[in-house]
């Protein structure tokens, strides 16, 4: 599989996964977070709000996937947000201790995927460069 096809597959997967996860958080609240079922109404409200934001983040990935070629700048920005989330999980681990094992697995996935996405970011732009404008000099 080429780098460009791998990028397109990952960008689409990121988009659909984030939209689905975000909607699940909006609909299920605390029940969507392993280990947080009894976190109370304040955390439930916060989780549902962030679920909507996460669904929007997924839509941004899907927007990028619909472009030809997928814009490297968009992939890099979206990946930077993804990596920031992973770093937030590490900060939480350092400050609060180990979360539920599912959260640890998500952090590992986020930390592993981020460098791959940064590396692949310009794959479609390199595979399908935009045509150059004709030289206007006489």
**SS3 sequence of 10-42:** HHHHHHHHHHHHHHHHHHHHHHHCCCCCCCCHH
Q: In 101-126, which positions are buried (b, 16+ CB within 10 angstroms) versus exposed (e)?
A: eebeebbeebeebbeebbebbbbbbe
Q: Return per-residue pLDDT of the chain as tens, 138 residues.
A: 699 999 999 999 999 999 999 999 999 999 998 887 778 899 899 999 999 999 999 999 999 999 999 999 999 999 999 999 999 999 999 999 999 999 999 999 999 999 999 999 999 999 987 766 666 665
Give the pLDDT of residue 38: 78
* DSSP run (H or E) holding 132: none
pTM: 0.89
Question: Which runs of E-coded beta strand occur in 2-125?
Answer: none
Asked if 38 and 30 count as a contact pair (C-beta separation under 8 A), the reply is yes
Asked if 47 and 36 count as a contact pair (C-beta separation under 8 A), the reply is yes
């Amino acid at each position: 599989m080429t780098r460009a096809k791998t990028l397109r597959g990952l960008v689409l997967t990121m988009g659909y996964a984030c939209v689905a996860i975000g909607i699940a958080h909006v609909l299920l609240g605390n029940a969507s977070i392993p280990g947080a079922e009894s976190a109370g109404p304040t955390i439930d409200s916060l989780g549902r709000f962030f679920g909507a934001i996460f669904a929007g983040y997924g839509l941004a990935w899907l927007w990028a996937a619909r472009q030809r070629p997928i814009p490297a700048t968009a992939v890099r920005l979206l990946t930077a947000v993804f990596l920031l989330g992973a770093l937030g999980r590490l900060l939480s681990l350092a400050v609060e201790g180990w979360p539920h094992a599912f959260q640890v697995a998500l952090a590992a996935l986020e930390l592993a995927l981020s460098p791959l996405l940064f590396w692949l970011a310009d794959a479609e732009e390199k595979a399908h460069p935009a045509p150059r404008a004709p030289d206007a000099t006489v």
